[in-house]
Structure 1
Amino acid sequence: MLDFISLSNDPADMACMEKFYALTLDSFQGSANERLWLKTNIKLARLWLDRKEYQRLSKSIKELHRACQREDGSDDASKGTYLLEVYALEIQMLSEQKNNKRLKGLYNKSLAVKSAVPHPKIMGVIRECGGKMHMSEENWKEAQMDFFEAFRNYDEAGSMQRYQVLKYLVLTSMLVKSEINPFDSQETKPYKSDPRIVGMTDLVDAYQRQDIKNYELILQKHKDQILDDPFIREHIDEVTRNIRTEALLKLIKPFTRFTLAFIAKELQITVEEVQDILGFLILDKKVHGKINANNGTVEISSRSDVERMEAMQEWSASLGLLWSTVFAPGDSGRGGGGGGEESAGIGRAVYV
């Protein structure tokens, strides 16, 4: 009965469910059926999460944690599966609240639980939240690994969330600038032509071919499918900037002088965006040149000029080191006594 009524998403049913769970929990008072109490309380906590009632959820989570512990406060290994479900609920709450400091510790703690055989959907939830946590830290590689594990678990559980997480996996593969197509793996290959993710499939293909014009067209064509998700919308700008940066580097390669307007027209972006990308590349020493903001031109130093300048800087540094070594203060006093006279003699010989 509890499993059946928990399937409803109707707001009117939520209040009814709350009463139902409360009555069920009251009936367990004094009962020895602790596992049924745990299952019911976990379902009630999930209701608080769905309704974003974090204060009530926190209270339920504390109760559940206590129920999964021994008298000495350590985790009860026999309740490992329930403990992971509680961790998953708390991890989801912290992820939604963007409390990464607490989330990181709890995430690592959940992965350390070895006494459980969790439902794959629970592990999918934990891994998905872990991936989002890594993304917020711009740790793209770790996020990619977590999203792959989340997808694999959701797929095993038959959860529809696998489609959303697969999009996140594609997103991270672009952010790590991987040359391996995310749909080449045995687990993801069956979804390559799925209409629910065709936008991301085409996007990663254009990205890996560095086809910026097609990339921009796909982003517009599948705007609803790609940008409807707030998480993707938050990070897609980084992907777009990366492909524009690569396209700009390729475009300016033959030139020693060009206008910002020319690049903007070729890449179909604003002059301000071109200036921003070029400024970053110059600071990062990936482009050797100067931007003249007054007339909107850019002059690129030739490689020989750059090498000559670097050689001059190296020679200047070496000369400075030699000067400080030969004429270091107090050198004439080294050795004391007769050695001092000898040093002085050498000093005179140098100036003769």
Structure 2
Amino acid sequence: MSDEEYEYDYGSDGDEDEDDDAGAIEIENAFYEGDDCKVEDPGRALEMFNRVISLTEDDDEGENLKWRFRALENIVILHGVLGDAEQMLARYRQMMEYISMVTRNECTDSINKVLDSVSNNTSLANLQSVYEITLQALKNANNERLWLNTNIKLGRVHLEAKNYSRVAEIARELQEACRLPDGTDDLPKGSYLLEAYALEIQLCTQTHNTSRMKEIYPKTEALNAAVADPRIMGIIREEGGKMFMGLGSWSEAYNEFYAAFRNYQEGGNPRAKTCLKYVVLSNMLALSDINPFAAREAKVFQDDREIMAMMDLRMAYESSDMQGFDRILQNKSNKILEDEYLKMFVERLRNRMRESVLLAMVKPYVRIEMRSVAQELNIESDAVEKIVVNLILDGRVKGRIDQVHGCIILDKGTEAQTVGKEYEGLRGWCKALHDFNEHICAKVQ
């Protein structure tokens, strides 16, 4: 071969390199132009991302494949934003053909971005289709961990939509996937199994399935020792607290809510504040002397308006200040009654306060009119009678109701009467005055 031919070949290689560089620059420019205008001009962005697809369609390797995969991700999201469900699903199927050709991190990031975006921009039916495409593609690609994560997300979607039968199916499928052939737990998948239990526990709470809840809950405690994930355990312990609240086991509920609060705090979950409110609620119902705000974790919230309101509510509760209690509840800026769960127990708290006020009120007496108690509590006499009946049944008052004369007659030695030496003198005076009154009446007659 002549020198001229060598020079010609050398020159041709240089031209090819320059063409490759120019092509790469064109692809990159098209992608970033689309990225820049996808908010203000989604139509133009779609045009640019489709151009990236055209420029890379003959190359399934290297950087070109990555550009195409990222462009498809953006195209799917844009079609979702624009409400074109048919194109969104078609391009998503195309994108999923490449998940085995990119790294697992790239695959995970893109799928999560699509799912998060589509969750906010399409109907539940279309979202379900996106999840089905995802799960099938991940199963084909043997990407089990991402399959588990995606199925957990789908379970949460159905839980929020109150599609309880689908939640139950998904929870069961997840639990089976996290077990060994002999039926024992697959410990390397412990965090996924804990998530599956958390999903079913939330389902049990919403469907009031206490029997199933009692069956699952101990399993999570055993797993927690091995997994110790505060993000998941916060959810589980909160639902455990709600289970015990439903059973009327206030002290156990307090312990669970407090554990949930600490887990949420450790995991940086903003739900910690809401759970602290539930800690205070269960603490009041348990008639506990423990101050939940004395804990180091709780002090972080001591200047928060909503938490300060709960502190004030507890103080009003402890001092049996009915008017102050109601005033705090009705103050909309405190947001106490905006929480439907808290709202469920407000009347129970009021009844507890009424019990406390009633017990204090009848302490000096052996007989007291229900009308007087009703006026003090600002309720009807019938409601007073119900409270007294409950206190008698609980053994906190030993006495009886005289319905004919509309009064409460207390036996000696009851909780309402044995209240310390400070009342003994008063009783003595009352008896002396009573005897003196009878003596005067007899003389007059």
The TM-score, its normalising length taken from structure 2, stands at: 0.63
Q: 1:146 to 1:6 in 2, by over 3 A?
A: farther
Report what 2:112 is aligned to: 3
Q: 1:84 to 1:273 in 2, by over 3 A?
A: same
* Residue 173 of structure 2, aligned match among 60, 63, 68: 63
Deviation at 1:7, TM superposition (A): 4.4
Measured in 2, the distance between the counterparts of 1:4 and 1:198 equals 38
* Residue 138 of structure 2, aligned match among 10, 28, 31: 28
Aligned 1:148-297 pairs, distance under 5 A: 148-222=258-332, 225-297=335-407
C-alpha contact 1:148 1:166 (8 A) present in aligned 2: yes
* Residue 104 of structure 1, aligned match among 214, 220, 234: 214
Q: 1:291 to 1:64 in 2, by over 3 A?
A: closer
C-alpha contact 1:155 1:162 (8 A) present in aligned 2: yes
Measured in 1, the distance between the counterparts of 2:178 and 2:214 equals 21
Measured in 2, the distance between the counterparts of 1:116 and 1:283 equals 45
The farther-off stretch of 166-175 and 38-47 is: 38-47
Deviation at 1:283, TM superposition (A): 4.2
Measured in 2, the distance between the counterparts of 1:197 and 1:273 equals 31
Report what 2:104 is aligned to: none
Structure 1 vs Structure 2 CA RMSD:
2.6
Measured in 2, the distance between the counterparts of 1:267 and 1:132 equals 29
Deviation at 1:223, TM superposition (A): 9.2
* Residue 91 of structure 1, aligned match among 196, 201, 204: 201
Structure 2: gaps of 5 or more residues: 1-109, 418-445
Q: 1:65 to 1:257 in 2, by over 3 A?
A: closer
Measured in 2, the distance between the counterparts of 1:111 and 1:89 equals 15
Q: What residue identity is the alignment partner of 2:170?
A: S
Deviation at 1:6, TM superposition (A): 4.7
Measured in 2, the distance between the counterparts of 1:67 and 1:200 equals 43
Deviation at 1:301, TM superposition (A): 4.5
* Residue 44 of structure 1, aligned match among 151, 154, 160: 154
Q: Which has the higher helix share?
A: 2
Deviation at 1:58, TM superposition (A): 1.9
Measured in 2, the distance between the counterparts of 1:282 and 1:80 equals 50
Relative contact order, CA 8 A, sep 6+: which one is greater?
1
Measured in 1, the distance between the counterparts of 2:303 and 2:247 equals 31
Q: 1:116 to 1:20 in 2, by over 3 A?
A: farther
Q: What residue identity is the alignment partner of 1:150?
A: A
The farther-off stretch of 13-22 and 64-73 is: 13-22
C-alpha contact 1:128 1:165 (8 A) present in aligned 2: yes
Count residues in correspondence: 306
C-alpha contact 2:174 2:196 (8 A) present in aligned 1: yes
Measured in 2, the distance between the counterparts of 1:303 and 1:61 equals 56
Measured in 2, the distance between the counterparts of 1:242 and 1:41 equals 44
Offset from partner CA, 1:269-302 (integer Å, 9 cap, x none) = 2211112222333444543444332342334455
Deviation at 1:206, TM superposition (A): 1.3
Q: 1:229 to 1:11 in 2, by over 3 A?
A: farther
Q: 1:223 to 1:256 in 2, by over 3 A?
A: farther
The TM-score, its normalising length taken from structure 1, stands at: 0.79
Offset from partner CA, 1:228-260 (integer Å, 9 cap, x none) = 333222223222212111111111222333322
Q: What residue identity is the alignment partner of 2:342?
A: I
Deviation at 1:38, TM superposition (A): 1.3
Measured in 1, the distance between the counterparts of 2:176 and 2:184 equals 10
Report what 1:136 is aligned to: 246
Measured in 2, the distance between the counterparts of 1:115 and 1:183 equals 27
